[in-house]
């Protein structure tokens, strides 16, 4: 095996590094004078640092360094088994490189692109032997991100896919075979987390700090959606959102919202510019004036009425220092643990007094933070009294405006639904969708696993309420989810 890499930028360097540490001889070419050697110097320095830190032995580092070579021209790739192109996202440039490579490499050499947004079919359409063209999409920073998507183009040979999977494993990555489609797997599946958060912000249901805090502390995500968007860069994630949205014929489930566009047009790209959703200081720390916590100066509620039989609400409030009254006395706060509904719809359906209704989200972990919401026209005294009661237990309180599905139910149901839709249209095998999303985005669970954790029936309920209340097909359940929920089948059950 001999590997060629075109492009000595950050991605190219990362690919070169993991190839060499995996024992693969690698040659790198860059059209800019001296760039290949400069890139290799950085790779050599990183490999040496790994040895200093004990992550590689001296012999392993020495062997890897011996496998690094600068190519003077593309002609040096003549005897390469695989060539990976890792230049910037320009279709004309990539097609030109592939055309040149076809005139140089052998007929059985494999040509792969590290593209993150362009279809392999588009790159391959000007090639003579399209069966040997594929994608090998690494994630930045390559040495730290264990996932690699092996993209199967419309005419890619199964043998080519097998070779690239083996190469990925040799490079220490976890390969996942993915269908050629807009956004491939991770960039497609990652849309829901950010775009639904943007929608919640757009509707003024909650602030960005509130949304981030709930998703971190109650749902186990390493970063909230706005923190993550600022880290990856609005200049990256907004265009990708548009590529995926338009690539799927403007499916409403993939649509983003105005706050996303506003940040992009304002040049507020996140940490890299010092301003995104948040403002960052010179050390890269967010300096937001907004707080996620609601602090009540009211006395904790002494009595509450839990509307209807609700085991979850009774289990939560039972140990607290308040009296749970079995019948509505017309004066005390009414508490309900809602699933998918907003306070307005629930009060209208049940006939209870919306002014005293305080809804609580118990579909996620309430041990550190609890989300409460009320309907328009709610009495602030009841809201504050219930918030004070919850806060008396040491939990933080997030108070939001009326929303079907609160924050956590909306976002997690949309993440799960999009994962189910990717399974439905065959982007990858169901288990591999989960694996890729965990490795590629550090999600606590893959999207189908998330549907399983929420419960397929409950996930369906949240989506159905969202669709009915908003009137939007954005929330229509995937047939993959709908059928397995109806039949009582595990979410990973294949057709």
Are 460 and 416 a contacting pair, CB within 8 Å? Answer: no
**Measuring CA to CA, which residue among 20, 19, 41 is closest to residue 30?**
41
Using CB atoms within 10 Å of the CB of residue 269, give its burial: 0 to 12 exposed, 13 to 18 middle, 19+ buried: buried
From CA 463, how far away is CA 283, in angstroms rounded?
Answer: 41
Of residues 85, 113, 114, 137, which has the active-site annotation? Answer: 137
Two tokens at 327? 């019948």
Q: Are 341 and 317 in contact (CB under 8 A)?
A: no
**305 annotated active-site:** no
Q: Are strands 82-85 and 110-113 parallel, antiparallel or unpaired?
A: parallel
Active-site annotation holds for 137: yes
Catalytic residue among 114, 116, 403, 478: 116
CB 389 within 8 A of CB 300: yes
Question: Is 116 marked active-site?
Answer: yes
Query: Hey, is 112 helix, strand or coil?
Result: strand
Q: Is the peptide bond before 14 cis (omega within 30 degrees of 0)?
A: no
- Catalytic one among 187, 241, 384, 417? 187
What backbone phi and psi angles, to 5 degrees, belong to 249? 55, 40
165 annotated active-site: no
Answer yes or no: are the C-beta atoms of 248 and 422 closer than 8 Å. no
The packing angle between helices 10-21 and 58-66, to 10°, is 120
Structure tokens at 247: 């690539």
CA–CA distance, 219 with 214 (Å, rounded to integer): 7
**DSSP symbols for 285-300:** -B--S--S-----SPP
CA distance 474 to 183: 19
Least Cα distance to 29 among 89, 71, 65 occurs for 71
- What strand order describes the sheet that includes 357-360? 323-325, 303-306, 334-337, 357-360, 369-373, 396-400
User: How far apart are alpha carbons 393 and 318 in whole angstroms?
Assistant: 12
Distance between CA 448 and CA 430 in Å, rounded? Answer: 7
User: Which of the residues 85, 113, 114, 149 is marked catalytic?
Assistant: 149
Pair of tokens at residue 440: 């590629």
Spatial distance between the Cα atoms of 456 and 448, rounded to a whole number of angstroms: 10
3-state secondary structure of 110: strand
| Active site amino acids | 116, 137, 149, 187
């Amino acid at each position: 095996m001999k590997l060629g890499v075109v492009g000595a930028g950050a991605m190219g360097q990362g690919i070169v590094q993991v190839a060499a540490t995996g024992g693969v001889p690698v040659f790198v070419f860059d059209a800019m004078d001296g760039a290949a050697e400069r890139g290799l110097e950085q790779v050599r320095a990183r490999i040496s640092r790994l040895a200093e830190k004990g992550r590689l032995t001296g012999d392993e580092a020495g062997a890897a360094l011996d496998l690094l070579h600068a190519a003077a021209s593309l002609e040096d790739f003549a005897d390469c088994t695989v060539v990976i192109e890792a230049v910037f996202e320009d279709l004309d440039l990539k097609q030109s490189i592939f055309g040149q490579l076809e005139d140089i490499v052998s007929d059985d050499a494999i040509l792969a692109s590290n593209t993150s947004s362009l279809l392999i079919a588009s790159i391959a359409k000007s090639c003579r032997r399209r069966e040997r063209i594929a994608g090998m999409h690494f994630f930045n920073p390559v040495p730290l991100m264990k996932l690699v998507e092996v993209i199967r183009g419309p005419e890619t040979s199964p043998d080519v896919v097998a070779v690239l999977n083996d190469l990925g494993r040799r490079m220490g990555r976890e390969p996942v075979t993915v269908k050629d489609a807009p956004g491939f797997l991770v960039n497609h599946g990652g849309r829901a987390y950010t775009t639904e958060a943007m929608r919640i912000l757009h509707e003024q249901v909650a602030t960005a700090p509130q949304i981030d805090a709930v998703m971190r502390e109650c749902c186990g995500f390493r970063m909230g959606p706005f923190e993550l968007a600022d880290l990856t860069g609005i200049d990256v994630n907004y265009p990708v959102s548009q590529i995926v949205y338009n690539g799927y014929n403007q499916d409403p489930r993939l649509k983003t919202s105005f706050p996303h566009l506003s940040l992009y047009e304002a040049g507020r790209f996140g940490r890299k510019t010092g301003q995104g959703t948040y403002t960052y200081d010179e050390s890269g720390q967010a300096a937001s004036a907004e707080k996620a916590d609601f602090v009540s100066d009211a006395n904790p509620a002494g009595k509450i009425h839990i509307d209807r039989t609700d085991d979850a609400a009774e289990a939560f409030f039972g140990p607290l220092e308040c009296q749970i009254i079995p019948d509505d006395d017309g004066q005390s706060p009414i508490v309900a643990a809602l699933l998918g509904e907003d306070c307005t719809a629930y009060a209208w359906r049940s006939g209870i007094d919306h002014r005293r209704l305080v809804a609580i989200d118990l579909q996620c972990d309430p041990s550190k933070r609890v989300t409460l919401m009320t309907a328009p026209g709610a009495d602030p005294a009841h809201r504050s009294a219930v918030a004070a009661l919850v806060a008396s237990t040491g939990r933080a309180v997030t108070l939001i405006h009326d929303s079907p599905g609160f924050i956590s139910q909306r976002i997690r149901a949309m993440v799960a639904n999009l994962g189910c839709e990717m399974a439905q249209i065959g982007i990858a095998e169901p288990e591999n969708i989960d694996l890729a999303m965990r490795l590629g985005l550090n999600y606590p669970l893959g999207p189908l696993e998330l549907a399983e954790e929420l419960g397929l029936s409950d996930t369906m309920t949240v989506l159905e309420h969202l669709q009915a209340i908003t009137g939007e097909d954005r929330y229509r359940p995937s047939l993959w989810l709908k059928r397995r929920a109806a039949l009582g089948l595990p979410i990973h059950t294949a057709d």
